[in-house]
Amino acid sequence: MKKDYLLNEWHCVYLASELKEEPQQVFALGERVVIYRTKTEVHAFKDLCIHRGAALSLGKVKNGLLVCPYHAWEYNTAGECEKIPALPCGKAIPSKAKATVYRCIEHIGFIWVNIGEDPAPLVAFPEYDQDEYRTVAIGPYDVKANAPRIVENFLDIAHLMFVHEGMLGDADHAEIPVFDINFTDGRYITSEILLYQPNPDGRSSEGYSNYVYEILSPMTARFKKKAQDSNNEFSFFITVVQEKEEQTKVFMLHSRNFELDQPDEPYTRFTDILLKQDIEIIESQKPELLPLDLQEEMHLKSDAISIAYRRWLKKLGVETGII
**What residue 170 binds from ligand FES, Co ion, none (CB within 5 to 8 A, per partner kind)?**
none
**Residues in touch with ligand FES (CB under 6 A):** 49, 51-52, 54, 68, 70-71, 73
Are 247 and 144 within 8 A, CB to CB? yes
Task: Choose between 73 and 154: whose C-beta lies nearer to ligand FES.
Answer: 73
DSSP for 269-309 reads HHHHHHHHHHHHHHTT-SSSSPP-STTSS---GGGHHHHHH
Q: Rounded to whole angstroms, how far apart are CA atoms 31 and 34?
A: 10
Is there a cis peptide before residue 119, judged by omega within 30 degrees of 0?
no
Closest separation in Å from C-beta 62 to ligand FES: 14
**What residue 278 binds from ligand FES, Co ion, none (CB within 5 to 8 A, per partner kind)?**
Co ion
Closest separation in Å from C-beta 60 to ligand FES: 13
Task: Choose between 99 and 318: whose C-beta lies nearer to ligand FES.
Answer: 99
Task: Choose between 216 and 282: whose C-beta lies nearer to Co ion.
Answer: 282
| 3-class state of residue 4 by DSSP | helix
Closest separation in Å from C-beta 91 to Co ion: 60
- For 161: left if phi > 0, alpha if psi spans -120 to 50, otherwise beta; the answer is alpha
The number of residues that bind Co ion (CB under 5 A) is 1
Gyration radius of the chain's alpha carbons: 22
Task: Choose between 9 and 278: whose C-beta lies nearer to Co ion.
Answer: 278
Task: Choose between 77 and 239: whose C-beta lies nearer to ligand FES.
Answer: 77
Task: Choose between 61 and 145: whose C-beta lies nearer to ligand FES.
Answer: 61
Closest separation in Å from C-beta 258 to Co ion: 22
Q: Which amino acid is at 210?
A: N
**Taking contact as CB under 5 A, which single stretch among the options 133-141, 180-188, 204-212, 271-279 is the one that binds Co ion?**
271-279
Q: Rounded to whole angstroms, how far apart are CA atoms 231 and 256?
A: 11
Q: Rounded to whole angstroms, how far apart are CA atoms 237 and 224?
A: 9
Please give the angle made by the CA atoms of 304, 150 and 286, to the nearest 5 degrees: 90
- 201 binds Co ion per the rule CB under 5 A: no
- 152 binds Co ion per the rule CB under 5 A: no
**What residue 71 binds from Co ion, ligand FES, none (CB within 5 to 8 A, per partner kind)?**
ligand FES
Closest separation in Å from C-beta 58 to ligand FES: 10
Interface residue with Co ion, options 127, 152, 233, 278 (CB under 5 A): 278
- 127 binds Co ion per the rule CB under 5 A: no
| 3-class state of residue 99 by DSSP | coil
Q: Rounded to whole angstroms, how far apart are CA atoms 163 and 154?
A: 12
**What residue 70 binds from Co ion, ligand FES, none (CB within 5 to 8 A, per partner kind)?**
ligand FES
Please give the angle made by the CA atoms of 215, 220 and 226, to the nearest 5 degrees: 60
Task: Choose between 73 and 223: whose C-beta lies nearer to ligand FES.
Answer: 73
Q: Rounded to whole angstroms, how far apart are CA atoms 252 and 15?
A: 10
**What residue 68 binds from Co ion, ligand FES, none (CB within 5 to 8 A, per partner kind)?**
ligand FES
Q: Which amino acid is at 166?
A: G
Task: Choose between 58 and 289: whose C-beta lies nearer to ligand FES.
Answer: 58
| 3-class state of residue 54 by DSSP | coil
User: Looking at the DSSP assignment, which residues form a beta bridge with residue 261?
Assistant: none
Closest separation in Å from C-beta 68 to ligand FES: 3
**What residue 49 binds from Co ion, ligand FES, none (CB within 5 to 8 A, per partner kind)?**
ligand FES
User: Cα 5 to chain center, whole Å?
Assistant: 16
- List residues binding Co ion (CB under 5 A): 278
